[in-house]
Structure 1
Amino acid sequence: MQKVTKYITLNDGNKIPSVGFGTWQTPDGDVAEEAVLTALQAGYRHIDTAKIYGNEVSVGRALKKSGIPREEIFLTTKLWNTEHTYEKAKQSIHDQLEQLDVDYFDLYLIHWPNPVDYREDWAKSNADSWRAMEEAVAEGKIKSIGVSNFHPHHLDALLKTAKIKPAINQVYLNPSDQQPELVDYFRKHDIHLEAYSPLGTGKIFDIEELKELATKYNKSVAQLAIRWSLQHGFIPLPKSVTPERIIANLEVYDFEITEADMAVIDAQKGKSGEARNPDELQF
């Protein structure tokens, strides 16, 4: 088993493990608890959850049960779409700290930039939520703050009032959708990209070119895709509830994909899903 030993320094000086463990669609209860516990035992030190996932209590139990000191675990959660006011964001941060049974979050994100409930004035609602998050940083409840699913125009609006620049933008990134313009824009602002769904929507495992390359490197398609993400400078967040796959998804530091093969993987756009437009979602 390989433990995450490579860390990335964010624009606020805090360090984040280069691979995280995602918990989206992982059911609350024993399934989530055991998956996170297995991940921590396998060497992951970066756990990603969210209020809307409904599994924060189970994630928190796994953190405690692991016996790993809190300061060695990088914990991320997110503000949900119904809470985009200053007061609601403050309350949500308080409630989520209790749900996860921790004293602070390492990273807290605005989950979506333009929720349907606040579509008439999404920029103000993000600014108000961000102000609550900045106060939580000052109070020691959060170490780093960031965003998720933001496009350049969402960032531009937020930066008009933000006192703290986002450290992260967590977006849909994998060989099927690399969002190059978005990635380039956020990198120019010194904001790191986290890749959720780094294995696509499952269809990635049926792409012949990836299967051939995985065989060439004596790796799985999943390991190939995660390694591709790392070599592009993304922070991938693979998820699984199967112990063998949880362990295998971290075994990505012992090989390197050649430049020519990276180009082959880059050419798989659209073959296993693409990012959704945050300005058009109905939630």
Structure 2
Amino acid sequence: MQPDEKYLFTYKGCYFQPDLTSVEYLDSLEDFEIRDSDVFLVTYPKSGTVWTENILSLIYHEGHRDGSEKLTLLDRVMSLEYNIGNVDYASRPSPRLFASHVPYYLVPKGLRNRRAKVVYVVRNPKDVLVSYYHFSKTSLKLEEVEDFGIFMERFLAGKVLASLWLDHVEGWYSHRDDFNILFLTYEEMKKDLRSSVLKLCNFLGRRLTEKEVDAVVDQATFNKMKADPRANYEFMPPEFMDYSKGHFLRKGTVGDWKNMMTVAQNERFDSVFKERIEKLPIKFCWDINEES
């Protein structure tokens, strides 16, 4: 079952959303001018993107930490491949924060000089699948596939936004020496948010006081973010999201796949993904289910 062309198109082997970007714009990214102070958050969709965007914004923007800024998250962390507001990125002050779902081979050439920083967050693919499935029901820009089994087969075949999870993660890991990059897992962030914040500050060269770190950690908890419309993308125009069906931030847990996948579906997933997952230099946490 192929994805509906109304919702997805392919560009150099990767699926994108057609009404949010174009071939011409994606072509222009190769020569996108990179500043040494730029920070790029790269994820496969539904891997903690919005959460990490918030954390980066809290680390960089004092106004976000103390609540004095009314800027939405999209104003603080700009999407590289989906310039929704047609913003002039070149005129934005440094340091610029970007978020992207692109595979390693589609990033601007200037990122390969290893001066600008890349933060790559990876999440257990079974939880990604379940989160993605639920998100497709609320997003008006993604095709809704009612049957979870059919959706899972599409995910396993890479016929979804950003294409195959395995290719995305393997690509960035195997080319990590091309970039100034920090890898984090969603699960380690859930287990010990403070350590993850400190790791980010260290990588980014941001010196925060203990009190400022405490504020970042406190405001980046899932429940605080879900309650903040600026952090939960609730400012999105009505043509993007159907909030009667759910929110951008749903559960934010580890292990939710066990509430969704049948034994047979889990075995099917493992038969397709397990061999390649075991070769990755990361270990996923499959078993905890926490609501914190």
* TMscore range, shorter length: under 0.3
TM-score (norm 2): 0.25
Bigger relative contact order, structure 1 or 2, given CA contacts below 8 A and separation 6+?
Answer: 2
TM-score (norm 1): 0.26
